[in-house]
Amino acid sequence: MAHRPIDYSLYLVTDRSLSRGRSTLEIVRAAVRGGVTCVQLREKTGSTRGFIEEAISVKAFLNSCGVPLIINDRVDVALAVAADGVHLGQTDMPLAAARSIAGTSMVIGISAESIRDAAEAQAAGADYLGVSPVFATPTKTDTAAPLGLAGLRAIRDAVEIPLVAIGGLNRSNAAEAIRNGADGIAVVSAIVAADDPEQAARAIRHEIDTARRPWV
């Protein structure tokens, strides 16, 4: 594929409603300083033009750090700003349609709430999966019942593509998610709403790195 490899280790998902008045770019800058390896820009409200303008400013910063930008839901916005990828939920544009538009220039991630979702997405050519929700989360109310670590492990056993665990992930449970098959940890409120997003990211990144050491 033409897209560059992506490190999903610590995957920030932005949420303006949780940022406590701070700008998305301010949160992203701090989070990357703390060790975030991938950023998904998620905007559920506002105009398309506003989304594109924000994406351009965030991407300019991320490019200077070598950190990839993923756009949530909007294939058109992802293409408009030449993002590294797009992430699609089960009710968003179908993967095949997105791939026909984007080609192989972008990674396409798919949200999976079950083994069936995961297997179908892998078969259809998804580059990675957002496995959700692993734990109960207050940031989304329309999700399925939590999968738990056993559910995460079952999906890991069923597919080969990278898995990013999302849903209630924070410093206290990131290591267990990695040990149960996640290639990366997606975090929303634990970084976006933190008093110090940089320090919050650094603490979670430490747990991820520690969990990967076979001698620990």
In a domain, 127, yes or no: yes
Q: Which of 4, 44, 49, 140 is catalytic?
A: 140
Domain that holds residue 75: 10-206
Predicted TM-score (pTM) of the model is 0.95
Q: Which of 9, 74, 99, 111 is catalytic?
A: 111
| 215/21: higher pLDDT | 21
C-alpha 212/C-alpha 53 separation (Å) is 37
Q: Is the dihedral of CA 46, 32, 211, 181 positive or negative?
A: positive
Our count of domains for the chain comes to 1
Token digits of residue 42: 């998620």
For this structure, is 140 an active site residue? yes
Task: Tell me which residue of 73, 99, 101, 76 sits closest to 87, measured CA to CA.
Answer: 73
In a domain, 48, yes or no: yes
pLDDT tens readout for residues 19-73: 999 999 999 999 999 999 999 999 989 899 999 999 999 999 999 999 999 999 9
Q: Which of 9, 42, 171, 202 is catalytic?
A: 42
In a domain, 212, yes or no: no
In a domain, 167, yes or no: yes
pLDDT tens readout for residues 165-212: 999 999 999 999 999 999 999 999 999 999 999 999 999 999 999 999
Cβ–Cβ < 8 Å for 188, 139:
yes
Which CATH number fits the domain that encloses residue 71? 3.20.20.70
For this structure, is 17 an active site residue? no
In a domain, 168, yes or no: yes
In a domain, 26, yes or no: yes
Task: Tell me which residue of 111, 110, 44, 51 sits closest to 83, measured CA to CA.
Answer: 51
C-alpha 216/C-alpha 191 separation (Å) is 25
pLDDT tens readout for residues 29-41: 999 999 999 999 9
In a domain, 214, yes or no: no
